[in-house]
Every structure is written in C-alpha cells, then in structure tokens.
Chains A and B, each alone.
Chain A
Amino acid sequence: MASIDGALLDFKRLDRLATGDTAIHRLDPRAKVLATLVFVVTVVSFGKYEVTALVPFLLFPVAMVALGNLPVSYIIKKIALLCPFALVVGIFNPIFDREVLVQIGSLGITGGWLSFASIVMRSILTVGAAIVLVGVTGFPGVCLALERIGMPRVFAVQLLFLYRYIFVLTDEGSRMERARKLRAFGKKMQPGIFGSLVGHLLLRTWQRAERIHMAMLARGFTGEFHTRKDTEFGSREMLFLFGWSALFIILRFLNLSQLVGSLVTGISP
C-alpha cells in the first residue's frame, strides 16, 4: 500500500464490479457466500503435499469470473499479490523438508517443494475465491448474507457503517498527508507529527460521528436498524449452492488431474 490514492482507486474498482447485472450477480448473496465457504474449507482440507488434485478447483473462480463478467486481468493482478505472509512462511518448507517424495525420471522432488507448491496453489484458490466473491456480490451483499445466516445485527451494522465511511475518511486522511508533504520539503514523517496529524483526523472523525448520529436521530432513529430483505433463496440458489458443493466434494475425493493425466498419457503414444 505504497500510495494511498492508488490503494483507494483499486478498492473502488473492486467495489464497482459488484454493480454488474449478470445472473450470478442477481443470485441471493447467501448462496454465493455459502458456496465460497464450502470451497475454501474443501481446498484447505487437502493433505500437506497435495498439488495436482487442487488444480481442478480453479474451475470455480474461473467460472465465476466468466459468468460474472469480471475483468480477467484485474482479478489476476489482485490474486498475484497473494498473501505475502503465507509465501514467506512457505518458502522455508524446502529448507526444512528435504525428503524426496516424488521421482520424475532422474529429478527428485522433495516434500518441501511439494508442500510449498501446495501452499502457493492454496493461496491462489482461497484469495481468488474471496476476491471473486466480493466482485459478484458486493460488500453490502456479503454483510446481508452473513446477517441472515446468523451474524449479530450489531456487527452487520458496524460493517456497513465502516464500509460507507472508508471512502470519506481515507480521502480526508490523504488530503492531510498531501498538505503535510507540500510543506515538508522531502522530510519524512516524524512520529510526533504523525501523532498530531492522526490525532486531528481522529477528532474530526469523532465530530463526524456526532453529526451522523444527529442525522440519524432527525430521521427517527431509535436504536433499531431496518434493512430491506428483498432477495429470496429459491431454486436457482439451491441449484447453485448444492451443485457447486457436490462438485467440490467429488473433486475432493477424486483426483481429476490424475484421471485426466492417465487418460491423456495413456492414449497418446
């Protein structure tokens, strides 16, 4: 997150994808959230050294990108950032785990490299699933789904408020930082200055919260939140959720890559 404005633009872009109007976008968010959860749990339930059996799982994010009409290059770029922590930790595997597990011709592949490859594959799948979920559902949709699945209302409201004001406050923060930079002549931000700059931002945030509360009271707020519930969990949603879940479970126990590989290599001379 080197540049504030860059990060913001990126954020807004992902947010805008959710305004698409495809069959996938129109599905009840609950179906998409639950299918994604089943997907993630299935993916991480594989053994430490599994690589090839994970590949068929790409079908899910790929199909969602295609059906949801999401921009492919953008999604790939987001996934390519992956989770740095997982990779940093994973890269130690080849060092500590040197047992040769697989022999391909004269090339011996150690367990460390296998499990590292597995971690990379898992990262791609899980991170991809999360990003694609937001892209075809939108954050408010995800919140609504979680609330209807059982998340406390207070927390749903909290998520929606947070989301609403991220744009407002990061704008405000980046204006302050720009104003400081203009007068700093290349000097780095000192912690003391950071304290008062961010302190100011905090005070303004607090005042804003007071104004928002007034605006809520002005419209009869009494502590209860009413949200629209206009989507329905119908047969399309059933089909989506159970169709994908069934596929994930089949793919969990049937190594499709292995099967296809045997077929291909068996047929070709």
Chain B
Amino acid sequence: MHMADALLSPAVGGTMWAVSAGTIAYCARKVRTDLDDSKVPLMGVLGAFIFAAQMINFSIPATGSSGHLGGGLLLSILLGPYAAFLTLASVLVIQALFFADGGLLALGCNIFNLGFFPAFIAYPFVYRRLIGAQQTRSRMTMAAIVAAVIGLQLGAFGVVLETVTSGLSSLPFSTFVVMMQPIHLAIGVVEGFVTAAVASFVYKARPELIQFSPEARSTGSRPVRGVLLAFLAIAVLTGGFVSWFASKDPDGLEWAIAKVTGKEELRAPAQGLLGTLAEVQQKTAVLPDYSFKKPGETGKDETQPAGQRKNAEGSRLGTSVSGVIGALVTLALALLIGFLLKKRQQAV
C-alpha cells in the first residue's frame, strides 16, 4: 500500500514531506546523542535485512495466498523507535528509487504511513504497554498482533486520507475506507504473527538483543510525546499554510507564480516567439482551441480564451480533438528529440 505520486496533490505531498523530513531530522539528532556508534552499522545492515526478509515469502495458513514481512514493528522491537524510524525511512527511499514504489513526492507520505505509525504509535503505546515486564512467547505474540494491526490500520487510514484530500481519485471517502481497512486488518494479523515468530526466535537465542535495546526503556514517556507534539505542530502549521494557500485559488502553484510575476493571470506573452506562435494559432486554427462541453451547456459550443482559467477543473483543460492530436505530435516530437540526442551521444 505504497502511496503514489500520481494520486497526490502538491499540497498534501509537500505537507507530508515536511512532516517526514522533520521527524527524520529529530530522530537523527536523537540517535546521534543517545546511541553508541556500534549502532551505525547495525541500523544499516538491519535495513538491508528487511529487504532480504521481504523477498522470502511464506504461505498464510488456510488461505493459499502468501505474505511477507513488513518489518516496521520488528525493527522497533530491536532498535527502539528512533533508530527504527530512520531505518524504515531508508528502506522506503530505496524502494521509491529502485522499485518504483510510489515515487519521490509520495516518499513523505510513505515514510509517515509505514514508519511513523509502527515506530511511534504501535510500538510504544501498544506493544510495550501490552507486553509489560515478562516476555513470554504467548504474550509476545498477542502484543505483536495487536500492535501490528493498529499500526497498519493507522497506516491504511493515512493512505485514505492522503488520497481523498488530494482529490485526484474519485473514490468516495466511505467506500475507500471500507475497501482499505478490512484488507489491512488481515495483513496486520499476519504481520503481527510473523513478527512475533521472528522476535521470539531471536529472544530464545540471544535475549539481550531484545531486552536491552537501549531506548526501549524510555519509550512511552517524554521523548515520544515530544515527537508527537512536534509532529502535530508541523502538520498543523504546514497544513494550515498550504490550505490557506490553496483556498486562494484552486491551484496553489499558479497562484504563487501569478503573485511572483505580479500579474493576475499568466498569459502567453504577447511578444517574441510565443506571441507569434499564439497569433499563428489564432489565425490558422480551424477547430476552436477550447471546445469544451461543460455539463449543462451541451449544444452551446463555448469558446474561451486561453487566459480564462477561473472556472476550476473543467474549463482549465484544453482537451479537444486538437488537444489529442497535439499531444500525439508532441509525444512524437519528444521521442524524436530523444532519438536525435542519443544518436549524437553515440557519435561523440
């Protein structure tokens, strides 16, 4: 359930980037001051371990399907929340760059959904609370399942919220929730079960790895609350700023550019090459350039000048026959340029 660039608006993507970057910076400071330097290679290698473990599938009993380890909760148990968050974030960066899981802008969302919830909510407030002082196997399994379910439910809900606020998907909020949450309930149970299986194996072989995880003691108290509050503050501030930004005009970027250039609307400049092109276009166009049939106006062919972009989504799109043909030609041009560049490249 990696969030994807294609479903994100810049406002939501930017907010989540800021939140995740802030949390990374905070954790990095924390890890620097709290941990001994032997944790430096350990975090790195455990991140790679998560990759290796994710590539090994197991079959889920009684379903015939197979699953793999997510790893957020396991890392939190082994490393404590700060180091675990950084490790998870690093895993997600690699997935975004190499496996095309989501993309660069969605990285902020993904780090938050899959890193923040397990490390700073599920682990300290659920797992640690449930497991108490005695780490018996059954207690461990129970705590891991509950924590994994809660972590994943929150993560899935995060995906729903981010998608719905971005507004690119037309899925109604309720339908989306009904789709996402039950699936992740099942995934959460499996995740918890497997996490417990691995953790209890390690606990049997080398109990000190799990018992004395240096930060395990301090969680649930002030530091984590600090993170939570800081996160909330960042989210409210960025969110508030961005939505104020966005409410001025449905399109924040356009608005910002207009502000910067000092014009109400950004028009194709009247002089120079573009101006000439625009003139040529006016003169030669057979098809009206914006032949939009807005709902309710069918039959009335409305032509709008290119500068008029007030009327939100509908009128902003130049999609008409000429637009489609133009897109194809542009595509061909882009490929041709690429081809020529490549030729030149090889000739050099």
Contacts and interface: CB of A to CB of B under 8 A. Distances in A.
Contact of A85 (B1, B48, B54, B254): B1
B197 A192 contact: yes
B45 A50 contact: no
Contact of B335 (A62, A93, A193): A62
B135 to A, nearest CB: 15
A47 B317 contact: yes
B97 interface: yes
B100 A82 contact: yes
Interface of B: 1-10, 13-14, 21, 24-25, 28-29, 31-32, 37-38, 40-49, 51-61, 66, 69, 78, 86-87, 89-91, 93-94, 96-105, 163, 167-172, 175-176, 190, 193-194, 196-198, 200-202, 205-206, 209, 250-254, 257, 266, 268, 274, 277-278, 280-281, 283-287, 289, 291-295, 298, 312-314, 316-327, 329-331, 333-335, 337-342, 345-346
A155 B86 contact: yes
Residue picked from B94, B103, B295, B322, most chain A C-beta under 10 Å: B103
A250 to B, nearest CB: 8
B98 A40 contact: no
B179 to A, nearest CB: 9
Contacts of A43: 5
B55 A174 contact: yes
Contact of A256 (B14, B251, B293, B330): B330
A264 B321 CA distance: 11
Contacts of A262: 281, 284-285, 287, 289, 322, 326
Interface of A: 1, 4, 7, 11, 14-15, 22, 36-37, 40-45, 47-53, 55-56, 58-59, 62-63, 65-67, 69, 78-79, 81-83, 85-86, 89-90, 92-93, 95-97, 99-105, 109, 111-112, 114-115, 118-120, 122-123, 126-127, 129-131, 133-134, 139, 142, 151-155, 157-166, 168-170, 172-174, 176-177, 188-203, 205-206, 208-210, 212-213, 216, 221-223, 249, 252-267
A103 to B, nearest CB: 4
A189 B56 contact: yes
Contacts of B175: 92, 96
Q: In terms of DSSP, what is the predominant structure of the interface of chain B?
A: helix
A161 B45 contact: yes
B326 A258 contact: yes
B348 to A, nearest CB: 9
13 contacts: A22-B345, A42-B253, A67-B342, A83-B103, A92-B171, A95-B170, A115-B168, A133-B97, A155-B24, A198-B194, A206-B46, A255-B326, A264-B326
Given A44-B8, A249-B257, A258-B320, 19 more contacts: A7-B55, A47-B316, A49-B317, A52-B317, A85-B3, A92-B175, A99-B295, A129-B104, A139-B98, A152-B29, A154-B86, A170-B55, A174-B55, A195-B201, A198-B69, A198-B201, A253-B266, A254-B274, A256-B330
Contact of A81 (B59, B100, B318): B100
Given A89-B163, A253-B254, A262-B284, A126 B104 contact: yes
A112 B197 contact: no
